[in-house]
Amino acid sequence: MLFNPKYFYRLSFWTSLFCFLLLIYDFGFHSSITESFDLDLFYYYALLVGLVSSVLTYINDRKRIYQRIAILDGVSGLFSGVLLALHFFTPENYEFRQFAEQLSLEKFAAALLFFKGFLDLRVSYKRTALNPAQLFLISFVVIILGGTLLLSLPGATHEGIGLLDALFTATSAVCVTGLIVVDTATHFTFFGQSILLFLIQIGGLGILTFVSYFSYFFKGEISYEKQIAINQINSSGAIGKELGLLKSILIITLSIEAFSALLIFYNTDPAAFTSVSERVFFSVFHAVSAFCNAGFSTLSDSLMQGGFQFNYGLQLAIILTFVLGGLGFPIVSNIVSYLSYKAKGVFSFFDKPNYRPWVLTLNSRIALSTTIVLTVGGTLVFFGLEKDGVLSSHSGFGKLVTALFGATTPRTAGFNTVDASHFRFPTLLLTMFLMWVGASPKSTGGGIKTSTLAIAILNILSLARGRERIELYRREIVEVTVKRAFAMISLSIIVIAIGVLGISAFEPDLTMIEIAFESVSAYSTTGLSMGITSSLSPISKFIIIILMFVGRVSALTVLIAIFRNVINQNYRYPKEEITIH
């Protein structure tokens, strides 16, 4: 090697970081502040430094050319080189130069440079320093704090925002909750709404998913320690399957969100928007927010707003999106495999195998069965309770769609087509129960999860029948799963109870049902509210922030991160049964 390669990596990183800070300054502050500086010149100098740094890196390390990151380096370098040539070696009236400057391509190149520099970071995830649970929690904290700073920039809002409200909004977005203290539609600028969109997407999937997969994709390698960390966080099974899972997560997410955006765009009225670009952004924002079960909307009254409340095609598209997001990535992937298997069976009718492979896993069967029961049962009960209430203004088909929406959105989606504050008391209890259950495991939703509820019910039935183990679909559920389900249920009740107790101490004017509804919604990362969020005191808002965070990462993960794992000992104490009833 001609030089120490770490200097080039540092130069590339600091250059990309400078571009990132420059982008934040450019978009985050009002034009009256940025007009006095020629920021474009700084972009071009940063691109020049990044290009030179990249060339020197390859001269110093020839093996790098065989890694897949060379593709990204090549595209980034070519793009930067063309922009630099246009800016420094062509006249100002040159057609292609004017076209590039009008589209602000230098800013896009700077963002690409930051992304490339971020991937070049040599970060070590040594398990001796941080266990996977701690790494998972820290990643969310970093995203929330970063989002808070971005939302606090003058260019993100029209009239400014307090630090606590910025922290609340960032936490709600990263934890894909949807509770808001300021109106997303009117308070935030396009830049601020774009930040929320980014936080929702990153929070829904997890920053480790993006970093781990793209780091491997471009570098072509991943350490064994990283594989163990990803495996424990994502529960991908055997070591070596992590990257396949990460790839599936990204493909499933982008595919469903793209298809959903098209459905939403098709089912919206062009007259409701001032331009095609606004309609496109509306479609993309709600597709991402729905799939990530975030519940954020660029409409002041969510889908209750005029022109959207009775748009049943749009509501069905959003229902489909957040239900798929709430099923969980492993289950959606398993369903795709099952449908593929069934499709192959149709075309190979005369060449059927002598055995029936176990395609649809036990986890998928339990989650799908529980989801169907909750959806159908919740819709019927909601319809029966509110057909003369909040559903009275809808037609026959509209009542059914709205009831379906009311039964599925509490499962952590957070969108609303009717006002929850007008629900009857039994409907509020039903909604709170559905919020508490939430979505399926390894999904973008929260709650105790459908499988946890199913395991608890199956355990009760097994005990009632005098059985010592749970058997289902000719499979036996391991004991540790039952213990985890019991722990999830117990911890959720404890955390919610503490939240209700804390808020009630500082909000004496609120009723207990309002406080309980808000607390359950925050812990389950649902985002439904009876309209009290913005009027809460600072301490109560902070309690809601804690509930949203703990609910997103799960209370069990927090405990695992706090306590060190005990090494299994090769001994067993005598067993003794304890009287509990």
pLDDT, one tens digit per residue, over 147-186 is 998 898 888 888 888 899 999 999 999 998 989 999 998 9
Q: Are 196 and 286 in contact (CB under 8 A)?
A: no
Check whether 99 has a pLDDT greater than 70: yes
Percent helix, percent strand, percent coil in the chain, to nearest 5: 70, 0, 30
Query: Taking all residues of the chain, what is their mean pLDDT, rounded to a whole number?
Result: 81
Q: How far is CA 469 from CA 75, 300, 448, 477, 479, in A?
A: 57, 51, 22, 7, 8
Compute the chain's Rg from CA coordinates: 26
What pLDDT sits at residue 513? 93
Check whether 331 has a pLDDT greater than 80: yes
474 vs 317, more confident: 317
**Average pLDDT over every residue of 277-294:** 92
Percent of the chain with pLDDT over 90: 31
Helices (DSSP H) in 235-361: which residue ranges?
A: 242-266, 276-291, 312-327, 329-347
Check whether 284 has a pLDDT greater than 50: yes
Check whether 5 has a pLDDT greater than 80: no
Three-state SS annotation for 452-478: HHHHHHHHHHHHHCCCCCEEECCEEEC
What pLDDT sits at residue 89? 82
Q: Are 314 and 308 in contact (CB under 8 A)?
A: yes
What pLDDT sits at residue 224? 44
Q: Band the pLDDT of 316: cuts 50, 70, 90.
A: very high
What pLDDT sits at residue 265? 94
CA angle 230, 232, 234 (to 5 degrees): 65
308 vs 347, more confident: 308
Residues 6+ apart with CB under 8 A from 569: none
220 vs 500, more confident: 500
Token pair for 329: 């990535």
Check whether 205 has a pLDDT greater than 60: yes
Check whether 127 has a pLDDT greater than 50: no
**Average pLDDT over every residue of 319-331:** 87
What pLDDT sits at residue 334? 82
> Distance between CA atoms of 256 and 247, rounded to whole angstroms?
14
220 vs 80, more confident: 80
What pLDDT sits at residue 267? 92
Summarised one tens digit per residue, pLDDT across range 26-85 is: 777 755 555 545 667 777 777 887 777 777 777 776 666 656 666 667 777 788 888 888
441 vs 133, more confident: 441
Phi then psi dihedrals of residue 513, to 5 deg: -70, -35
Say which amino acid occupies 334.
N
Q: How far is CA 98 from CA 42, 103, 105, 392, in A?
A: 18, 9, 11, 57
Summarised one tens digit per residue, pLDDT across range 487-545 is: 999 999 999 999 999 999 999 999 999 999 999 999 999 989 998 998 999 999 999 99
What pLDDT sits at residue 78? 83
What pLDDT sits at residue 10? 67
Report the range out of 55-59, 192-196, 333-337, 577-581 with the highest average pLDDT: 192-196
Lowest-pLDDT range of 70-79, 148-157, 229-238, 567-576:
229-238
What predicted TM-score, i.e. pTM, was given to this entire model?
0.81
Check whether 384 has a pLDDT greater than 90: yes
What pLDDT sits at residue 66? 59
Q: What is the DSSP letter of 157?
A: B
Closest by CA to 422, choosing from 395, 385, 397, 396, is 385
Domain boundaries, the chain: 5-119, 132-324
535 vs 336, more confident: 535
Helices (DSSP H) in 152-238: which residue ranges?
A: 163-174, 184-187, 190-205, 207-219, 224-234
232 vs 432, more confident: 432
**Average pLDDT over every residue of 362-368:** 89
- DSSP assignment string, 345-364: HHHTTTS--SS----S-HHH
